[in-house]
Amino acid sequence: MNEQIRVAVIGYGFAGRIFHTAVVDAVPGLKLATIVQRSGDSAAGTYPGVSIARSVEEMLDDETIRLVVVATPNASHFSLAAQALEAGRDVVIDKPFALSTTDATKLIELAHRKKRLLSAYQNRRWDGDFLTVKKLMDEKTLGRLVDFSSHIDRWRPQPKLDTWRDSGVGGGILLDLGSHLVDQALTLFGAPDAIFADVSTNRDSALLDDTFDLNLYYPRFKVLLSATCLACIPAPRFLLHGTQGSFIKFGVDPQEDALKRGERFSQPHWGEEPEANWGKLSVDDHGSIVGTPIPTLPGDYRGYYANVRDALLGTAPLAVTGNQAWRTIRVLELARESSEKRAAVPCDFSSEPLLD
């Protein structure tokens, strides 16, 4: 591509290192220009040709930076995104988009006033297993859907109380994995009628929520979204039942683990799953249940940033909008309300920002 969009990533912790700098650096048309790392030299060691800024202000002094990525602890997302928008930059915020719909609304309205792009990094729309499930749904392979279950289970019996994820503002599993699972459900099905949730803290020394079950009720089917840190034996990643059959899939998308190992998108067979991890489709064939392995479509997180690039260039609509991110935060707020009340609550999006 002739036009290079210069990108700055704020933060070089887990999110900045694994999910943002590595992905931005691999997308044609984007130029990883600056990394804001307040201390240490790890970013410079990995990206020797990239400028290292020691503060957000230093990065914003470079007027050639067009897109700013906020990849810092959750509690700082709002203030840093607002600072970048006020400086006239387009902004991507790592999930969760904000800690409340009040803050999300302020960011959306600010981006609108400044005429800037604003998006949330919902990379799991580009998970291979989710793309496979979406294809099955689009093709109505299961007939009319009755039950849809989506789980991300982990075995982490000891919380890391010296980290913000397990002890700080904006931590907990609901904002973490819940942001992904809710976004995927809203992408597939839109707004539910009602929500019934249980958000709990089950590990002995845990300070924040480490387990949730979210039931989303739709007119003729229901969706269960679930995650826990105490699953030595994980549940299926996806389990779908319909009037014509069922689909079950174990295991999570391989991209995160590959990036943790230092692998790069240029390596052969990126995002592909081994056949042993494929899902199984079972249908009723004249009274006999016939099972068929369904190859998992390759996942590719570059798709998210490629779309942001195209939206900035005016060649494609933005896939993950600020309002979509607002709806995800709203569902998580309602989930907490439902859990506290031990009752189902209506899914109310009436306060969603409506911009001209």
**CA–CA gap between residue 236 and residue 239 (Å, rounded):** 6
Residue at 353 is within a domain:
no
Please tell me the predicted confidence (pLDDT) of residue 2: 66
98 and 23 in one domain? yes
312 and 270 in one domain? no
Q: What is the DSSP string of 226-259?
A: EEESB-SSPPPSEEEEESSEEEEE-S--SHHHHH
148 and 108 in one domain? no
Going by C-alpha positions, the residue among 155, 93, 99 that lies closest to residue 118 is 93
Please tell me the predicted confidence (pLDDT) of residue 286: 85
Going by C-alpha positions, the residue among 220, 252, 217, 223 that lies closest to residue 240 is 223
Please tell me the predicted confidence (pLDDT) of residue 1: 52
60 and 89 in one domain? yes
Q: Helix (H, G, I), strand (E, B), or coil: what is residue 149?
A: strand
**CA–CA gap between residue 301 and residue 305 (Å, rounded):** 8
Please tell me the predicted confidence (pLDDT) of residue 356: 62
115 and 150 in one domain? no
Please tell me the predicted confidence (pLDDT) of residue 3: 75
Domain count for the chain: 2
Q: First vs last Cα of the chain: how many Å apart?
A: 32
What are the b/e assignments for 114-144, b being 16+ CB within 10 Å? bebbbbbbbbbbbbbbbbbbbebbeeebbee
Averaged pLDDT in 10-residue chunks for the chain of 356 residues: 87 95 97 96 95 97 98 97 98 97 98 98 98 97 97 96 94 97 98 98 96 97 98 97 97 96 94 96 91 98 98 97 98 98 97 86
- Which domain CATH number covers 43? 3.40.50.720
Q: How many other CB atoms are found less than 10 A from the CB of residue 98?
A: 25
Please tell me the predicted confidence (pLDDT) of residue 191: 97
